[in-house]
Structure 1
Amino acid sequence: MRVTDDSPTLDVLERLSAATDRVTFESLLRQLGLPEGVLRGRLRKLVDRGWVVAEPDDSYAIGVVALRPGSAYLLADRTVRLAAPLLTQLRDRLDEAVRLVRLDPPGIVCIASREPAQDTAGSAVGRRMPAYASASGKAILAELPRERVVALLDLGFEAHTSESVADRATLFEELAETRARGWAYERGQFQPGVGCVAAAVPGTTDAISVGVPLARLTDDHAVEIAANLVRTTEELGEALRR
């Protein structure tokens, strides 16, 4: 029986799904280091099956079929189901963007979101972020053993914005403060002009965050948000234990 190595196909899908725009064939060739004929063949099969979209300029993007496994994952996820009404309630109370994120090494990924009325950016579900640069990531990292955090940082650690933490000693200080306080807080470390407050969901590697434009994110407002967040994450953690 012939055994086919699917690693190149998975590598192509992972690169395209992580990209924020179309990726040229030449760029994929450089990134993946595959023989040109092998890459062309894999792309052709993926395009034929709808997993990848080919553009006339020989660039490629993830296709609509890729939504199927992601949607199936979210539909089957118990945390997402139990969190749904809690996220809506939190969004309605605060009128700010609310996210449920999960550790997906080396970063985090948004698995559910609720947008406020004034938001025009749309859902953040599927968006990946560096754990060390986001409040939600720090809330999760603060609950992990130090050696596991070090292993994650070894996979990549650099300043994301001009406000990002750029050295490990400072990051571990922030994580210690997060543990002591019970919630994480960052201002412009992931996205310029936006701050975030987050709390980990007990017993999981998930967190719930609230993002707020810095123009209205005062320290007092952050404390108010945090109080609501901690209640919500504790309620979700209790529901998951039942």
Structure 2
Amino acid sequence: MPIAEDSPTLDVLERLSAATDRMTFDSLLRQLGLPEGVLRGRLRSLVDRGWVHAEPDDSYTIGVGALRPGSAYLLTDRAVRLAGPLMAQLRDRLSEAVRLVRLDPPGIVCIAGREAPQDLIGSAVGRRMPAYATASGKAILAGLPRERVVQLLDQGVEAHTSETVVDRAALFEELAETRARGWAYERGQFQPGVGCVAAAVPGTTDAISVGVPLARLTDDHATEIAANLLRTTHELGEALRR
């Protein structure tokens, strides 16, 4: 049975991919609501193919085989290819980590990055993040119709730090400020001690962001980052239109 046509198998993969630690069989059984025999069969098939890794204690993690489609996606994605040199130049100018993210409703996912020596996060490629709590997500949401943003927010909003903006009116006010300014700015809303400046790539649902420890993220530094970001996102948008 092809994996792409098997909804229970995809449910297993998506649940393991979203987990931050290994999951026991019992927790998968509770969360997925599948018959025990069906779940055992799906896991056995996925383990045999390398998509899932099984631990001796009957717990599971996403397997190295799951890298294959992800790597193929990144290798064939035109925005990732074109953004690479531009992000490297931006990182070298600013000495800060740079990332390309894409809307993956209801959140965003990092699809490329260029790391900096003082980066506090490390490689973030493949990481899913909430759009409403990140500068890159806000940059993308600011360009969407209000009703589409409402649909995304209706799928859940929660505080990730004490700085996360969860009030809907305040969120829409932030998005209006982002549209007027042309770039998004947040301080510690998603990760404590880290802020971010981001700008959307014109004509896409992508954004490029620069993450900075709050100790270095002054308003002047944020303005400098934004000026460089806007040039980079404009160049990438132009390249994608050719």
For this structure pair, what is the TM-score category when the shorter chain's length is used for normalisation? over 0.9
Letter in 1 for 2:39: L
Give the number of aligned pairs.
Answer: 239
Aligned equivalent of 1:152: 152
Aligned to 2:215, the other structure's residue is in SS state helix
Separation of aligned partners in 1, 2:197 and 2:8: 39
C-alpha displacement of 1:155: 1.1
CA-to-aligned-CA distance 1:177-219 (integer Å, 9 cap, x gap): 0000000000000100000000000000000000000011001
Q: Identity over the aligned pairs, expressed in percent?
A: 87
Letter in 2 for 1:173: E
Structure 2: runs of 5 or more not aligned:
none
Letter in 1 for 2:233: T
C-alpha displacement of 1:121: 4.6
C-alpha displacement of 1:168: 0.7
Aligned equivalent of 2:181: 181
Separation of aligned partners in 2, 1:120 and 1:60: 28
Aligned equivalent of 1:17: 17
1:235 is the counterpart of 2:235: yes
Separation of aligned partners in 2, 1:46 and 1:24: 15
Separation of aligned partners in 1, 2:122 and 2:227: 26
Structure 1: runs of 5 or more not aligned:
none
TM-score (norm. length: structure 2): 0.97
Aligned to 1:215, the other structure's residue is in SS state coil
Please report the RMSD computed on the Cα atoms of aligned residues, expressed in angstroms. Answer: 1.2
Letter in 1 for 2:83: A
Separation of aligned partners in 1, 2:94 and 2:117: 11
Separation of aligned partners in 2, 1:114 and 1:95: 10
CA contact (8 A) 2:120 2:213 kept: no
Aligned equivalent of 1:47: 47
Letter in 1 for 2:94: L
C-alpha displacement of 1:122: 3.2
TM-score (norm. length: structure 1): 0.97
C-alpha displacement of 1:120: 6.6
Letter in 2 for 1:207: A
Letter in 2 for 1:166: V
Separation of aligned partners in 2, 1:166 and 1:83: 31
Separation of aligned partners in 1, 2:194 and 2:221: 14
Letter in 2 for 1:224: E
